A and B are shown apart, each in its own frame.
Chain A
Amino acid sequence: MITNKIRLIVIALLLLPTGVLTAQSSNQIDLEEVIKQFQKEKDITIFYSKEWVEGQRVPDIDFSGYDPVPYFTEILSGSGLRIISYNSSIFAIIDPKGKLAVVTEENDTRRTSNLVTFGTPGASSAEKLTINGRVKDGETGDDIVGATVAIEELSQGMATNIDGFYSLSLSPGKYTITYKFVGYETERRVVNLYDNGNLDIELFSRSETLEEIVVHGRPDDENINNAQFGSDRLTMEQIKSIPAFLGEADVIKSLILLPGVSTVGEGSSGFNVRGGNVDQNLILQDEAMIFNSSHVFGFFSAFNSEIVDEATLYKGSIPAEYGGRASSILNVNLRDGNRKEIAGTAGVGPVSAKMALEGPIVRDKSSFVIGARSSYSDWLLNNMPTVELRNSSASFGDLNVRATTDVGKNSKLTVSLYGSTDAFSFDADTTYNWNTVNGSVNYSRIFSDKVYGSFIFAKGRYSHNIDDITGLNQFNLSSSIDFDKAKMKFSYSPGFLHNISFGVEAIRYRFSPGNFQPVNNSYVDPKVVQNENGLELAGYVSDEWSISSKFSVIGGFRYSAFLNYGPRNVNLYLEGESKREETITGVQEFGKNDLIQSYYGFEPRLSFKYSLDAFSSIKASYGISNQYLHLISNTAAVTPVDVWKLSDKYIEPLRATQLSLGYFRNFNNNSYETSAEVYYKKLDNIVEYIDHADLLLNQHLETDVLNAVGNSYGAEFFLKKIRGRLNGWLSYTYSRSFRTVAGQYQREVVNNGNPFPANYDKPHDVTLVGNYKISRRYSFSFNFTYSTGRPVTAPLYRYQAGNLLGIDEYSFRNQLRIPDYHRLDLSLIMKTSLKKSQLWESSWVFSVYNAYSRMNAYSVFYRQQYPAGPYKLSVIGTIFPSVTYNIKF
């Protein structure tokens, strides 16, 4: 009753001045009216507070020729009010004596609901107050990572961190806060902030009736407004909408469709980023390192798409938090389980099946998610034309177990375990086996409203084996990598202008590069390559600083050190001679934990953003990364049996320096994103190999490995349509990657010391990805890719010399090219029912890989028998259809 009375009085008061003022002279006009008209005419936004503007009369001056700032400065003179600009299209009219916080358009019903008040007016005398909380999924209770929390009035905001946590520091006042995330209904709260407050928000999935295809998990204009660039985020929605080989949605295959990311060819493990080798990508799954990201020689990736939350690839400006690899960081985060109820998904394809099961351990407090995949048939191989292959088998499987729990109000504990196995046996006599076992624990804690920290421990092992158990030369060859990693990271947000992060990291490696042993008393001689031990240490500090509304900087540095330590025997070589087996003069023995060699490096990371207007910006970045471990592989494609090597006395760390520059522009209210980026990358001490290098079980790799200089440069053009029934992207990449090997001695020179293209130098690359939503039940996707054929070293001539009949004379390294590559894939997703009452949802995915059956060359070889000559080999030289059935409950 009382509130009703008050409301009446307020209305009366509001009406009164209007009535009075209308009677005044005609060359004065109502300020609010001017603001409204101005906004409409000029298509800009002006924030203002009704209480300040109310009743203000200003001179009626025609504003058609004016910019907002000079115009309002003119008409507001004498009113005590002032205009300020946030950027070229957002302005605010403020009372310099009043609070900055303002509320507009009280009549908007959306904003009058959900009013939250913290404290009472005058409760706190602090200049700045803090409001924080968590954003969660209202159905599952999962934390929502990357949800946007924005203060509408200030057009400022932040994204929730990995635990769904946000914290805003504001002057006392009244604000409208919006909480947004892909696929969820946006929530708004009007907050009267008189004291610090905690506001947890639950977001609910949008119902099917809403437009569902949203491909961006960040604010629509994040691409132009974030100083971070040269990074690509893929959410599972996106990955699942891309046509997949054998129906298996694949993180890495999707990444390869992005500009700047390429691969040597089908059936090769790993990927290449901006002219970097496969080993220059740090691949993290829940902070644990993945050394082999492929199943079945690259036909499938190591990540179970059912439980991946999102994958972020940093290829340009790498955040200071990450390091240890020269070219990119692929950070794959798995999702938390459902905290409210048991749920699951399952899918069956022609070769493999996958499932995920999740649910609460303690409702609303802790949850688990289990994901598993397994191949169940040798369908692929059984369709092959030869007996040997039909007798072969390729199998893989992986298992993820992840549990998350809240510890008190402010902490969260996550345990993530991963196991992956691959076995490939050829004609039942030789078996190749590779396995990953990883585990990580992450404890994160909100120390205060401004400080947030995480403590991570991860441990893992990657191993591979070859067993030959028939014939006279039976053997087992095994090798492994063990690592232990500890990391502490903190972020400190003193306000809107700065976001400081810092941390330390230590990784211990133990490599067992090769152990070759006879089996069943066979005649082969055992051979063991010495173990290696290394310790990588790093610390970093970084600040994301919004200098003005137009200009922001992320500046940071990382300092890393690497220690190679014993026990190990290190060869010594003759001075003034190239390192060869014949120039070994002796051996230096190092005992346990004796330091053999240490390296350290300073790694600055800088990136800038300058907004040209509300829709476009220019960005630049500069960064250095050191890499202390190297994949030793002298073949065009990485094989599962290639070994890794730590930097040592002779093999120096790889050091990458990258400069990049980009222009970003959005159109049509951020429905279209476009960008153009150029980069130059220099790789010092990249590992190359002498001509005719011998790498297998080599006990003195330094004799066959060379320090090369790599130069990569390129331009990437990207057009992406985000909204609408048809969405997708078109990208064109021009990139070159060269190596120069010009050592001191003749055997340390390749191609006369001239630069030669890297194995994956493919100058032109065009990708078109599209997704068309035909109806609520059907959607159609396609992708087309074209790239220049990769370089090869092939014979040019053949000759005879004396008793030697067919000698092939090869070209210089990588001087010829295989034919260009192009391929079209299609897929149709059909959801069986949209009724909510059903116990489960299901969908069919029909996909066609290589739709027009292009025989893309993978490699070239020479056949000796009739008809002799050069031949190309196509790994998937035909159309490859498949059907996958998925259910979700």
Chain B
Amino acid sequence: MKISNFLILVLFIITACIEPITFENPGNKTPVVISGYITDQTGGHRVSVGYSVPYTSSSFRAYAFTPIQDAQVLIIDDDGNETQLHEDLRAAGNYLTDDEFKGEIGRKYKVQVQIEDGQAYESSWEELKPVTAINDLSITPYEQRSIENGIEVVEKGIDAFVTFDDPADIDNYYRWRWFGTYEVQFSLDDKGPCWITEPDIDLINILEDGFQDGMTIERTAASVKIKNRTNAQNKYILTVQQLSLTRRAYEFYELLNKQREQQGTIFDETPAPVRGNLNAVNDPDELVLGYFHASSIKTSRISIETIIDNAGEILDCDLFVQMGFRPPTLCYNCEQLRFSSRIKPDWY
């Protein structure tokens, strides 16, 4: 509950006098952003390398990243082992570990990045800490009413809760991520169905055990909206990941969360820079953004039946053909959907 939001809104509206403004660009080069994490599980781990964009540019959130390609990205552990990452051909500026690579609990890792202009960056050491197992994953429906532009909006969905036993007498820091997987099929697609794995966009769900040290903790790990998902089958598998964080990584995410409440008004708390754990090797004063960490992961899955709401909104490819129209290309290749894959996950 943020009381000041009301005031913010008031002044926003009182004004009606809102005009674009230009700040002096602090420099001609925007800082490099390096972010990503590795885990103690196999599967390609991702590190992204790019430039941030100046705040002054009129940019949508989705484009606030200028990829840096052809970078040399290495993950090094405290035993001197090096792993070279390869560039993801589907996503520029993203670098992946080999599928077999996995981290070890108790070991420390850091990332080293050398970009084309010769500048080198390095993270500080991050320990891969263990994480306790999820005892139980349960779901419960939710309904959230809000007023947007004077109209009442009802959002329905499913909350998923994890229950776990927090190890006593040690500080534990958690992060949860979730993915929802469902199958789509188009009648004109010869290659068969696709599996979509939708991620938790823009979610920072973290916890410090603090007062709950050593207790059994129940925690919301995911909130999945009931909505239209193009041509989805009814089976929806929710994957919840419980990650360990170091205290420093936890604090980084915590500050990002707080900063997101900023609205830019006079009633805002004064914001501040949030610095990650990356530095330029040759220039300690260079500002480098982002965070690299190593996490242990425990995964739990649950099937949700009611999450797809495609009432009356099915893309009927056959109908196009019957009516003599040319069907959308999607009808021939479900891989065009975001987050889609031809490979069926073994647990689906």
Interface of A with B (CB < 8 Å)? 264-265, 267-268, 381, 384-389, 392, 424, 426, 430, 432, 466, 471-473, 475, 477, 524, 581-582, 634-637, 639, 641, 689, 691-696, 750, 759, 793-814, 816, 818-819, 855, 857-862, 864, 866-878
Write 25 A-B pairs (CB below 8 A) sorted by A numbering: A268-B266, A381-B14, A430-B6, A466-B3, A472-B145, A582-B210, A635-B267, A636-B270, A691-B255, A696-B4, A793-B270, A798-B59, A799-B53, A800-B48, A803-B200, A805-B61, A807-B274, A807-B289, A808-B262, A810-B271, A819-B21, A858-B266, A861-B263, A867-B20, A874-B19
Q: If the complex has contacts A264-B266, A861-B263, A871-B18, are A802 and B1 also in contact, measured as CB distance less than 8 A?
A: no
| Interface status of B130 (Cβ within 8 A of chain A) | no
Q: Which residues of A contact B168 (CB under 8 A)?
A: none
**How far, in angstroms, from A690 to B26 measured CA to CA in the complex?**
24
Q: Which residues of A contact B145 (CB under 8 A)?
A: 471-472
**How far, in angstroms, from A517 to B77 measured CA to CA in the complex?**
52
Q: Which residues of B contact A799 (CB under 8 A)?
A: 31, 33, 50, 52-53, 64-65, 289-290
Interface of B with A (CB < 8 Å)? 1-4, 6-7, 9-24, 26, 30-31, 33, 35-37, 46, 48, 50, 52-62, 64-65, 145, 150, 177, 199-204, 208, 210, 255-256, 258-259, 262-274, 289-291
B266 and A809 contacting across the interface, CB-CB below 8 Å: no
B273 and A812 contacting across the interface, CB-CB below 8 Å: yes
Q: Which residues of B contact A813 (CB under 8 A)?
A: 270, 272
Q: Of all chain A residues, which has the CB nearest B272?
A: A691
B53 and A798 contacting across the interface, CB-CB below 8 Å: yes
Q: Pick the contact of A875 from B15, B59, B269 — CB < 8 Å?
A: B15
Q: Which residues of B contact A798 (CB under 8 A)?
A: 52-55, 59, 61, 64
A692 and B255 contacting across the interface, CB-CB below 8 Å: yes
**How far, in angstroms, from A426 to B147 measured CA to CA in the complex?**
14
A692 and B6 contacting across the interface, CB-CB below 8 Å: no
Q: If the complex has contacts A809-B274, A809-B289, A812-B273, are A861 and B264 also in contact, measured as CB distance less than 8 A?
A: yes
B59 and A811 contacting across the interface, CB-CB below 8 Å: no
Q: Which residues of A contact B64 (CB under 8 A)?
A: 798-800, 805-807
Q: How far is the CB of A34 from chain B (nearest CB, A)?
A: 71
Q: How far is the CB of A477 from chain B (nearest CB, A)?
A: 7
B60 and A267 contacting across the interface, CB-CB below 8 Å: no
A859 and B62 contacting across the interface, CB-CB below 8 Å: no
Q: Of all chain A residues, which has the CB nearest B57?
A: A869
Q: Which residues of A contact B202 (CB under 8 A)?
A: 803-806
Q: Pick the contact of B266 from A426, A637, A816, A876 — CB < 8 Å?
A: A637
B265 and A861 contacting across the interface, CB-CB below 8 Å: yes
A796-B54, A871-B20 given; name 11 further pairs at CB < 8 Å.
Answer: A524-B1, A636-B270, A691-B255, A695-B269, A696-B2, A794-B264, A810-B272, A866-B60, A867-B58, A872-B20, A874-B19
Q: Which residues of B contact A696 (CB under 8 A)?
A: 2-4
Q: How far is the CB of B177 from chain A (nearest CB, A)?
A: 7
Q: Pick the contact of B23 from A466, A693, A750, A794 — CB < 8 Å?
A: A794
Q: How far is the CB of A639 from chain B (nearest CB, A)?
A: 6
Q: How far is the CB of A198 from chain B (nearest CB, A)?
A: 57
Q: Which residues of A contact B289 (CB under 8 A)?
A: 797, 799, 801, 807, 809
B11 and A267 contacting across the interface, CB-CB below 8 Å: yes
Q: If the complex has contacts A692-B258, A696-B3, A860-B21, are A797 and B31 also in contact, measured as CB distance less than 8 A?
A: yes
Q: Pick the contact of A871 from B14, B19, B150, B269 — CB < 8 Å?
A: B19
**How far, in angstroms, from A696 to B55 measured CA to CA in the complex?**
29
**How far, in angstroms, from A871 to B15 measured CA to CA in the complex?**
12
A801 and B269 contacting across the interface, CB-CB below 8 Å: no
**How far, in angstroms, from A151 to B290 measured CA to CA in the complex?**
78
Q: Which residues of B contact A795 (CB under 8 A)?
A: 55, 271
Q: How far is the CB of A474 from chain B (nearest CB, A)?
A: 11
**How far, in angstroms, from A596 to B264 measured CA to CA in the complex?**
39
**How far, in angstroms, from A807 to B273 measured CA to CA in the complex?**
11
Q: Which residues of B contact A694 (CB under 8 A)?
A: 269
Q: Pick the contact of A855 from B9, B17, B22, B263 — CB < 8 Å?
A: B17
Q: Which residues of A contact B56 (CB under 8 A)?
A: 869-870
Q: If the complex has contacts A798-B59, A860-B21, A874-B17, are A811 and B273 also in contact, measured as CB distance less than 8 A?
A: yes
Q: Of all chain B residues, which has the CB nearest A858?
A: B266
Q: Of all chain B residues, which has the CB nearest A637?
A: B266
**How far, in angstroms, from A868 to B59 measured CA to CA in the complex?**
6
Q: Which residues of B contact A759 (CB under 8 A)?
A: 270
Q: How far is the CB of A28 from chain B (nearest CB, A)?
A: 81
Q: Which residues of A contact B18 (CB under 8 A)?
A: 871-874
Q: How far is the CB of B25 from chain A (nearest CB, A)?
A: 9
**How far, in angstroms, from A73 to B273 measured CA to CA in the complex?**
76
A635 and B55 contacting across the interface, CB-CB below 8 Å: no
Q: How far is the CB of B231 from chain A (nearest CB, A)?
A: 24
Which of A265, A424, A802 has the largest count of B CB atoms less than 10 A from its CB?
Answer: A802
Q: How far is the CB of B322 from chain A (nearest CB, A)?
A: 38
Q: Which residues of A contact B20 (CB under 8 A)?
A: 867, 869-872
Q: How far is the CB of B62 from chain A (nearest CB, A)?
A: 6
Q: Which residues of B contact A870 (CB under 8 A)?
A: 20-23, 55-56
Q: Which residues of A contact B31 (CB under 8 A)?
A: 797, 799, 809
**How far, in angstroms, from A15 to B122 measured CA to CA in the complex?**
109
Q: Pick the contact of A873 from B12, B201, B273 — CB < 8 Å?
A: B12
**How far, in angstroms, from A809 to B202 measured CA to CA in the complex?**
16
B259 and A801 contacting across the interface, CB-CB below 8 Å: no
**How far, in angstroms, from A172 to B264 measured CA to CA in the complex?**
72
Which of A386, A432, A800, A870 has the largest count of B CB atoms less than 10 A from its CB?
Answer: A800
Q: How far is the CB of B332 from chain A (nearest CB, A)?
A: 29
Q: If the complex has contacts A430-B6, A800-B48, are A384 and B13 also in contact, measured as CB distance less than 8 A?
A: yes
Q: Shortest 4 CB-CB distances between A and B: which pairs? A: A861-B264, A877-B17, A806-B61, A691-B272
